[in-house]
Amino acid sequence: MSDNDNIARRKILGGIAGMAGVSLASGVTLFSFAGAKEPGDAVTSKVRWGMLIDAGKCADGCDACVTACFKENGIGSTGRPESDPQWIRKVEVRDPKSGATKSLPVMCQHCAEPPCVDVCPTGASFKREDGIVLVDKHTCIGCRYCIMACPYKARSFVHEEITDQKTHAPRGKGTVEGCTLCVHRIDAGGTPACVEACNDTSGGAMLFGNLNDPMSEISKRVAKYNTRQIRADLRLDPGIRYRGL
């Protein structure tokens, strides 16, 4: 079969797939995660994972996302809150003039230009092709330079020995850690635990998706509504966006 035949076949097949997608689409998207990959495939920059958080729907005093994150990743309290790891936290912002307050979750903002990666002396802090910023704990020496460089206070240091970690979330003393965007779930085609918890038990303030796919729900909303990145003036281009701030 010649290359031309191959291309023609692909076009036909693509057309059929597209029709299937359209015929099912009445507010329901069949291919919600076009970025889902096979376990053996490497991640690519065709995908940019991101999140849209609607501060208007995020209830004051609700910490479903924080609890879900801690449960998913096996983060327990040491009894010393000052040095406890914080992958995600609820922050209350207040307009000093009007006194109006907003409650919202803040975690690693998964910047396109992450300062934690710039400063890391060993290359342990890195950005995956699909935009997820991670710590490779195999090479992290625990210098904590990234903690200082991050304007979002998104990273934590593990001060004490940990036992009984979750299989999918290795954590250990002497390394820096932070939100992984639940990379183990994403690689299996899932969504982060915080988003799932927010949608299941709370106001559904969090939306996760592929910012590079114009057809994804998150891209459509980002295009439609006025959304903001925190400290956009730093031009780090975070993958986490907020609406109603």
Partner 1 sequence: MIVLAAAAVFLTFQTFAASRTPLPFIPKAVQKAEEGHAKVMRRNHMNLMFHKRDQTVRKGIRTDLNSLKGCVACHAVPGPDKQPVSFESPQHFCRACHDYAAVRIDCFSCHTSKPPGGEDLAVK
| Site residues (vs partner 1, CB under 8 A) | 37, 39-43, 126, 128-130, 134, 136-138, 161-168, 170-173, 175, 183-185, 187-188
Say how far apart CA 229 and CA 59 lie, in whole Å: 20
Contact 199, 127 (CB under 8 A): no
**Which residue, 46 or 235, has its beta carbon nearer to partner 1?**
46
**Which residue, 54 or 72, has its beta carbon nearer to partner 1?**
72
Task: Compute CA distances 130 → 1, 44, 82, 120, whole Å.
Answer: 34, 6, 33, 20
Q: CB of 229: closest distance to partner 1 in angstroms?
A: 24
Q: CB of 140: closest distance to partner 1 in angstroms?
A: 10
Tokens of 163: 């036992």
Q: CB of 234: closest distance to partner 1 in angstroms?
A: 26
**Which residue, 62 or 193, has its beta carbon nearer to partner 1?**
193
Q: CB of 136: closest distance to partner 1 in angstroms?
A: 5
CA dihedral 66, 70, 73, 78 (to 10 degrees): 140
**Which residue, 155 or 243, has its beta carbon nearer to partner 1?**
155
